[in-house]
Structure 1
Amino acid sequence: MTDNIVPDSQHRGLVARLPQLPRDLAQLARFDRPIGWWLLFWPCVAGVWLAGEGPQWALLAWFLLGAIAMRGAGCVYNDIVDAKLDRKVARTAQRPVASGRVSKPLAWAWLIALSLVGFVMLLQLRWQAQLVALASLALVAAYPFMKRITWWPQAWLGLVFSWGALVGWTELRGPPWEALAALYAGCALWTIGYDTIYALQDREDDALVGIRSSALRMGETVKGGVAAFYGGALGLWALAIWLLRGDWLALTALLPVAGHLAWQVLTLDPADADNPLARFRANRFAGLLLALACFVVGNA
């Protein structure tokens, strides 16, 4: 790997000013890397806003808290399971658990604490949405093992990171379920696309230690692959809008996010150490544009 890749051990902002142990715990939950909880949060917003019950600011505040806590808990769990693999990858070798700065018992305690915050958020939902949210736990628990058994762990992540769309919609309405299914499937394909971009950073080390990824599987065709997944996402989001509204004009709400995803693909340079990370992080804006499209369609 090149020295330009930003290691996960690098701390920034307020986290950099904390004493060593709180800093390690904050890093373990990726509090200094908000892109992860933004990507978990935006499908929740899309589900809420497409449901057509207005802004729902209080509900979205709870979803944001839940996204931060549960993304943190997921990262802690992932680092516990992957500690041995992380030591072999340049970008992750100095993560708190992999490096030994945080013991596994302490990491488990931290995971439980973060999960309790998520449980408080869960209690704010009606029982139907609670059941939908709880159904994701099996997918979350299995995710760290997917990179060992399939070339497409990004597909599993797509199922996990898109789950908030199901929860947000179910909190506010029921049918048409087919529109929700299309929204969820589109978010899953979007996730595969952006996480493939993220995986470009680790291709050399992943190949050496036996970690599988869609970036390795697609090889030289990775740009075309990402374009296909993004195109599929846009097609499914358009289907969701059509099933909900049946109005060609409503589809134009997707033009901003379509343009943004096209820009990502056209400017993606897999050979540049910094470019994939920047394009991956740009998906915080793609998620915002998707959510805004859902608000326009659902509440117009």
Structure 2
Amino acid sequence: MTTAPPPDSQLTGFVALLPAAARPYALLARFDRPIGWWLLYWPCTFGLGLAGGAKSHWPLFLWMLLGAIAMRGAGCVYNDIVDRDLDAKVARTASRPVASGAVSLRNAWLWTILLSLVGLLVLVQLPLRAQLIALLSLLLVAAYPFMKRITWWPQAWLGLVFSWGALVGWAAVGANPPGLALPLLYAGCIAWVIGYDTIYALQDIEDDALVGVKSSARAMGRHVKAGVGLCYAVALACWAGALWQVRPDPLVFVALLPAGLHFIGQVVTLDPGRGEDALAKFRSNRFAGLLIFAAMLVVGNAP
């Protein structure tokens, strides 16, 4: 039996220090859960790093971090607006501000617009080509909340969304990607997202079955550990191909070894029946992102 996961909205960290009226809005944007914007941010750094922009475009690392925080927040608010009825039926999400009534629907839309304006500020810091690519992602973002209703693989759609920053990051540097480097980088990020979000979905697998929500965790069933392992293996293979396209030297594969060992540890020790373990393994991908970024940075900026 899966143990009950912690509620999705918690008054922890700096959120607890905010005025009472502001706390629901911070929770709505998941400011209490930074793992989400870290996972949105890392692919941006992969693109910047592998394209060789670490020195020449270093301010973009900061701008894109701000953009990841703001747009992840806006995406969470929009997702909660769409999912407010479903969230009210699931124990972990019933306390979310829109589902619980702590924030009105009108104010939730206004909060989405305000966060999006911060994203717009970041957007204008990018070159035109990167701006256009970034704007295209809005179509994917708008459709995402509905995917769990129509496909068993909403995690794949999330992969398209959360990996988009790799395309934007590379375009922001302005370098032409050699061969298949950019498609392979993007594909690797998608596979990584499917893997870690499948782990995340294990927390809700019983409630999802009751309310009819689809997920890759439910689709994989008792083969979930093998399925996540396969996703991670595909991600590493794609990233290795991207690194090889940039620098055809067998040593580039060594750069991915730390991330590979981290993924093996996640899969081997994963307990699908424990919600708190699934959450811990999911959150450990913040460190995995750092390891992958280090590989992209070393190979993309080597003399």
Q: Could you say which TM-score interval applies, normalised by the shorter chain? A: over 0.9
Q: How many Å separate the matches in 1 of 2:198 and 2:91?
A: 18
Give the deviation of 1:139 after TM superposition. 0.2
Code of the residue aligned with 1:39 in structure 2: it is: L
Give CA-to-partner distance per residue, 1:239-290, whole Å, 9 cap, x none.
Answer: 1011111111111100011111111001100012211000000000000000
Give the deviation of 1:146 after TM superposition. 0.1
Give CA-to-partner distance per residue, 1:79-99, whole Å, 9 cap, x none.
Answer: 000000000000000100000
**170-179 or 121-130, which moves further after superposition?**
170-179
- Superposition pairs for residues 59-138 of structure 1, below 5 Å? 59-138=60-139
1:222 to 216, 224, 243: 224
Matched residue, 1:245: 247
Give the deviation of 1:17 after TM superposition. 2.1
1:262–1:94 distance in 2 versus 1, CA, 3 Å:
same
User: SS of the residue aligned with 1:21?
Assistant: coil
Give the deviation of 1:2 after TM superposition. 5.9
2:215 to 213, 216, 222: 213
- Superposition pairs for residues 276-291 of structure 1, below 5 Å? 276-291=278-293
1:117–1:177 distance in 2 versus 1, CA, 3 Å:
farther
Give the deviation of 1:177 after TM superposition. 5.5
Aligned residues: 300
Matched residue, 1:39: 39
Code of the residue aligned with 2:100 in structure 1: it is: S
Indicate whether 1:155 and 2:156 are aligned. Answer: yes
TM-score by length of 2: 0.97
After superposition, the CA RMSD in angstroms is 1.1
User: SS of the residue aligned with 1:20?
Assistant: coil
1:119–1:52 distance in 2 versus 1, CA, 3 Å:
same
Q: How many Å separate the matches in 2 of 1:191 and 1:273?
A: 19
Code of the residue aligned with 2:39 in structure 1: it is: L
Give the deviation of 1:151 after TM superposition. 0.2
Percent identity (aligned)? 65
Matched residue, 2:300: 298
Q: How many Å separate the matches in 1 of 2:3 and 2:269?
A: 22
User: SS of the residue aligned with 1:135?
Assistant: helix
Code of the residue aligned with 1:175 in structure 2: it is: P
Give CA-to-partner distance per residue, 1:71-123, whole Å, 9 cap, x none.
Answer: 00000000000000000000000100000110010000000000000000000
Matched residue, 1:232: 234
Indicate whether 1:8 and 2:8 are aligned. Answer: yes
| Structure 1, gaps ≥5 residues long | none
Give CA-to-partner distance per residue, 1:128-178, whole Å, 9 cap, x none.
Answer: 000000010000000000000000000000000000000000111123262
